Structure 1
Amino acid sequence: MAEIDTHTLDATGATLTYDIRPGGSPMAPPLFLIGSPMDASGFGTLASHFTDRTVITYDPRGVARSVRTDGAAETTPEEHADDLRRVIEAVGAGPVDVFASSGGAVNALALVARHGDLVRTLVAHEPPTVPVLPDREAALAACADVRATYLREGMGPAMAKFIAISSRKGPFPANWADEPAPSPAAFGLPTEDDGSRDDALLGQNMRTCTGYVPDFEALRAAPTRVVVAVGAESEGELAHRAGVEVAAGLGTGPAVFPSNHGGFLGGEYGQQGAPTEFAKALREVLEG
């Protein structure tokens, strides 16, 4: 395992923590692995497949080691994009390659739209940008309901709804709210409210991430090569469907990667994807 150098960086409203795994030729662009709200710990397995280049990971604001200092209840993709810019500039290694997953892919799209000169290639894996979907109104309402449930009832009921929404196959009907709410116990989640309201997924990012509208004009004009990826096993799910639509908005088709939404995971968070095959597919795209 490569040595990890950890750094902190002051940003507007937060102190960011990022890690650098030095490796490979100094001529190869660094690879920045981005999630949201997933922090750097989710990329250990994937990073181990890229020891031939420097790998950067970080904790998004409000998550793990990156502490918020502004007390804000929500964070926009544009704010996350500014954090990403700060990290890339602090590393000072010129344009980087980026693999970004889920909410991280949304934030990376916002980064490229604003600062495309900092990114050579972006692989945006299943960005859950709901406004691109034909069923956007119902899907956005379902996502907003997750946050409302969190504020009203706590983590268990809200996370149960999030799991049901993210794993749902196919469009959301207009009467989705009439469906029975999923039970937290069915997912092994707590049924009692512990009173906390600091979950970055359910509170900070839920509405702003899913409500992000990609700036397709800016993305197409950027010097960055943008490749949207979707999972072979997640077809029909919200993030997969959104990825297909984002690719269409860029005038391309999506790259199909092995496994599912968490296909790069190798046991992190108790989830096992197909990280070896996933890393191979990612390398082929980055070298393509």
Structure 2
Amino acid sequence: MTPTSTATTHTLDVPGARLHYEVRGTGPLIVLVGAPMDAAAFAPLAELLATDHTVLTTDPRGHQGSVLDDPEQDSTPQLRADDLARLITHLGVGPAVVFGSSGGAVSALALVQSEPDLVTTVIAHEPPLGELLEDRDQVRAGTEDVIATYRSGDVLGAWRKFMVNANIVMPEPMLQQVFGGDRDPRQVAGERYWFDHELRGTVAWEPDMAVLPSIPSRIIIGIGSESTGQHCDRTSRALGAAIGVAPTVFPGGHTGFVEDPAMFAVRLREVLGGAS
């Protein structure tokens, strides 16, 4: 399908923040969410889905247009889940299919765990749930080292360590281009917020295994076809094993929906089938 919709932008006041969100299309509600990825990262995919869905995207609290009352407040999966619940309720066209990627997948799992009536299907695409791994102590130490490196002022060094821990190969010229030199001040501010107030709480979050497997919502665990052996491939498979759900393969790597949104949209529709 050819995308024809145009996003409308809005804000919603929630406890401690004012959220920026965008709405496209009409029809059953799909929420696309990241953390720290913002609404702009999901825009191409949202346009493709908006031909027959209402698509909600948002900047997570503390990033881009979603401004905090207290910039030093941590962003936890529980807070982000509450934000999503308030957005879905505010729109009044739920319940929703919720697609969350990376930290957004953690937000989506926290949402469906706390507010299952608002979610028909959750697609948790590569959630970085390091506490589910047998080598969790090593993973935890690696996260602390990355945060300490960033706080020391070594931005590129922190990102190099992050990529090593994630087992993602990023050539040095690309790393320099993306994370070095002059950058958008809002991008830098979001990066700082993520390292200082979001990363630790996101990767340390643990699903309630007494609750998650028993909720009525459909749970899909997504992994990228090019993510084999990466950290989030391991964590996604660990989650699947814990709740008895076989992972579902999506095109591309950890950010496949950015790399090829058209192919990703086709696969997402296939996976959802009649559940959307």
User: TM-score w.r.t. structure 2 length?
Assistant: 0.88
- Cα distance in 2 for partners of 1:114, 1:77 equals 11
Following superposition, the deviation at residue 96 of structure 1 comes to 0.5
Q: Secondary structure at the match of 1:244?
A: helix
User: Cα deviation per residue 1:45-102 (whole Å; 9 max; x = unaligned)?
Assistant: 1112211111100000000000111232521111111111111111111210111100
Letter matched to residue 256 of structure 1: V
Following superposition, the deviation at residue 154 of structure 1 comes to 4.4
Gaps of 5+ in 1: 170-181, 266-272
CA contact (8 A) 1:185 1:191 kept: no
CA contact (8 A) 1:61 1:68 kept: yes
Following superposition, the deviation at residue 184 of structure 1 comes to 7.5
Q: Secondary structure at the match of 2:12?
A: strand
Following superposition, the deviation at residue 5 of structure 1 comes to 1.6
CA contact (8 A) 1:73 1:203 kept: no
Q: Secondary structure at the match of 2:100?
A: strand
- Cα distance in 2 for partners of 1:234, 1:183 equals 16
- Going from structure 1 to structure 2, the CA distance change for 1:248 and 1:56 (only over 3 Å counts) comes to same
Letter matched to residue 273 of structure 2: E
In the other structure, the counterpart of 1:260 is: 253
CA contact (8 A) 1:31 1:56 kept: yes
Determine whether 1:230 maps to 2:223.
Answer: yes
Letter matched to residue 17 of structure 1: H
- Cα distance in 2 for partners of 1:145, 1:197 equals 20
In the other structure, the counterpart of 1:156 is: 156
- Going from structure 1 to structure 2, the CA distance change for 1:89 and 1:260 (only over 3 Å counts) comes to same
Letter matched to residue 146 of structure 1: V
Which one of the candidate residues 15, 19, 40 is aligned to 1:16? 19
Following superposition, the deviation at residue 168 of structure 1 comes to 4.8
Identity level (%): 40
- Cα distance in 2 for partners of 1:200, 1:253 equals 34
In the other structure, the counterpart of 1:284 is: 270
Q: Secondary structure at the match of 1:147?
A: helix
Q: Secondary structure at the match of 1:18?
A: strand
Q: Secondary structure at the match of 1:260?
A: coil
Gaps of 5+ in 2: none
Residues 179-218 of structure 1 mapped to structure 2, 5 A cutoff: 187-188=175-176, 189-190=179-180, 199-218=192-211
Runs of 4+ in 1 over 6 A off after TM superposition: 182-186
Following superposition, the deviation at residue 222 of structure 1 comes to 1.6
Q: Secondary structure at the match of 1:81?
A: helix
CA contact (8 A) 1:37 1:103 kept: yes
CA contact (8 A) 1:96 1:119 kept: yes
Determine whether 1:5 maps to 2:5.
Answer: no
- Cα distance in 2 for partners of 1:81, 1:54 equals 19
Residues 80-159 of structure 1 mapped to structure 2, 5 A cutoff: 80-159=80-159
Following superposition, the deviation at residue 287 of structure 1 comes to 1.4
User: TM-score w.r.t. structure 1 length?
Assistant: 0.85
- Cα distance in 2 for partners of 1:252, 1:232 equals 17
Letter matched to residue 18 of structure 2: T
User: Cα deviation per residue 1:116-160 (whole Å; 9 max; x = unaligned)?
Assistant: 110001111000010011111101110121112112224322222
